Structure 1
Amino acid sequence: MSLGTTLRVTRQRQVLLDELCKLYTHPTADELYQIARKRLPRISLGTVYRNLELMAEHGMIQKLEVGGTQKRFDGNAAPHYHVRCLKCGRLDDLNLPLDLDLDRQAGELTDFTILRHSLEFTGICPACR
C-alpha cells in the first residue's frame, strides 16, 4: 500500500485509535492489545500489530522506535520530540518547538533527500531520580 492511498477505518482500527489517543504513555502493541480487548474481546495480537503498522504508515499515528526498546505508538501524529528515562523507560512528549531548519541543514550536508527527523532526549525521570 502506498502512502498516497487512504486507509479504510474499520471498527478495529477505530477502537485502537480511540484508545491510543486517550493515552499519553506511548504504549507498546502488547499494552494496547490488553486495553483494546476490553472493547473487542476477540481481537488478536496479530491484528493489533498489523493495524498499528498500517496506521503509522498512513500517518494516522506515530511509531516510535527508541533506544533499543520495543516499538511504542503515539496517537499524536503531528511531528514532536520525546524524552525517555534511561532507568525505567518512561517516554514523554517534549513541548519544544520543532526545528525544521535541521532538515535543511542535514540535506545540505548529505546527498540524501531529507523527509523528516526524529529527536529523542534521554535523562532520568522524577520518579527514578
Structure 2
Amino acid sequence: MTATLDSIIHSLKKKNIRITPQRTAILEVLIQSKNHPTAEEVYKQIELDFPGMSVATVYNNLRLFTDLGFVKEMSYGDNASRFDFTTDLHYHAICSKCGKITDFHYPNLDDVEIAASKLTGYKIDSHRLEVYGLCPDCQETESNINKTTNS
C-alpha cells in the first residue's frame, strides 16, 4: 500500500532523519504528481519556495526516499530517471512520443511471477511491465497534423 506523507514523516523521525521543509516539499510534489516526475521537474516545482536549494538537494533526497522504499526510481531510455510515489505493484503505459507515463493495474499479471518461476526454476521476487504506444494527447496531435496535411 502506498504510504502517506504523515506515515513517511513518522518513519523518517524513527530513523533519526531530519524533517526539513525541503524534504517535505519534495514528498508533497511526489504525492500530488501523477506524471512520474524527474528530479529536474521536482526541483522546478519547488525552487521558488527554496531559492538557495540546489538540484543536488533534490537528487540526494530522492535517493534517500528510494533507498528507504518510499519512492521507486524508474529508468528508461531517455537517461532521465523518473520517480514514482506509488510503490504498490502496478504497471506503466509509456508514450513513445512524449514520454508520458500512466499507471494501470491488471491483477492477473501477478501470475507471471508464478509462471516464470515454474518455467525457469528462479525464485522470483518482483517484476515490472511497461507497454509503449501513443498517449491520447499525442494521438490527437497526430490526427490534427494528418487532417491539416490532407486538406
> Which residue number corresponds to residue 32 of structure 1?
42
Q: What letter matches 2:19 in structure 1? A: T
Q: Distance in 2 between matches of 1:103 and 1:122?
A: 21
Supply the AA of the counterpart residue of 2:87. A
TM-score, structure 1 length as denominator? 0.82
The amino acid of 1:95's aligned partner reads: H
1:46 deviates by 1.1
Q: Once superposed, what is the RMSD of the aligned Cα atoms?
A: 2.1
Structure 1 residue 7: Cα displacement: 7.5
**Which residue is equivalent to 2:92?**
82
Is residue 52 from structure 1 mapped to residue 62 from structure 2 by the alignment?
A: yes
Are 1:106 and 2:106 matched, yes or no? no
| d(CA) in 1 for partners of 2:122, 2:85 | 28
Kindly indicate whether the alpha-carbon contact (under 8 Å) linking 1:84 and 1:120 is maintained by their aligned counterparts in 2: yes
> How much does 1:55 deviate?
0.9
Distance 1:51 1:112, change over 3 A: farther
Rounded Cα–Cα distance in structure 2 between residues aligned with 1:63 and 1:42? 25
CA distance in 2, matches of 1:45, 1:108: 45
* Residue 62 in structure 1 maps to residue 62 in structure 2: no
8 Å contact from structure 1 (residues 7, 58) kept in 2 = no
Distance in 2 between residues matched to 1:43 and 1:19, nearest whole Å: 15
Change (3 A) 1:35 1:120: same
Q: Which residue of 1 aligns with 2:130?
A: 120
Counterpart AA for 1:74: D
Q: SS of the counterpart of 1:41?
A: coil
Query: Which residue pairs with 2:107 in the alignment?
Result: 97
- Cα deviation 1:87-127 (Å, max 9, x = unaligned): 11111111333632212222233354322111111111111
Give the CA deviation at 1:13: 2.3
CA distance in 2, matches of 1:107, 1:83: 25
Unmatched 5+ stretches in structure 1: none
- Pair 1:118–1:42, CA change in 2 (3 A): same
Larger Rg: 2
- Comparing 80-89 with 112-121, which one deviates more in the overlay? 112-121
